[in-house]
Structure 1
């Protein structure tokens, strides 16, 4: 049950992070899950663990980290498109 809650929280956090950034995260469910897990890692690395913790995710740093991850992924995607 804990793994299911973690996956659902990762999708929710990834979706919120993608919605905060102009260029959304591609990949639907799996893209949002990737953004949620990467965002939680990046957010906890940069900001620590504060705020409510649900399913093992500190929600506020995870959302900010997810938005940063999607933003950086969008910049990388634009740079790769311009170089081709």
Structure 2
């Protein structure tokens, strides 16, 4: 039963992510009032993967240190 809940939550997350990510665009200023479109929608994921990796490492480290501090007090 737990697997069904996890599967349903992951499916809902993917559906929600698809509808949200499709609206995003990565653009760069090319001068005064001019913008160049670098990526749209899911093309952003390969464009910003270093930022996503850094956020994942930071969140993991923060979780580790907070959990370590909480369990050390007991």
Superposed pair shares fold, TM > 0.5: no
For the pair shown, the structure with the greater C-alpha radius of gyration is: 2
Q: TM-score scaled to structure 2, two decimals?
A: 0.39
Return the structure number with greater relative CO, CA threshold 8 A, min gap 6.
Answer: 1
Q: Which structure has the highest helix share of the two?
A: 1
- Higher strand proportion: 2
TM-score for both structures, normalised by structure 1:
0.35
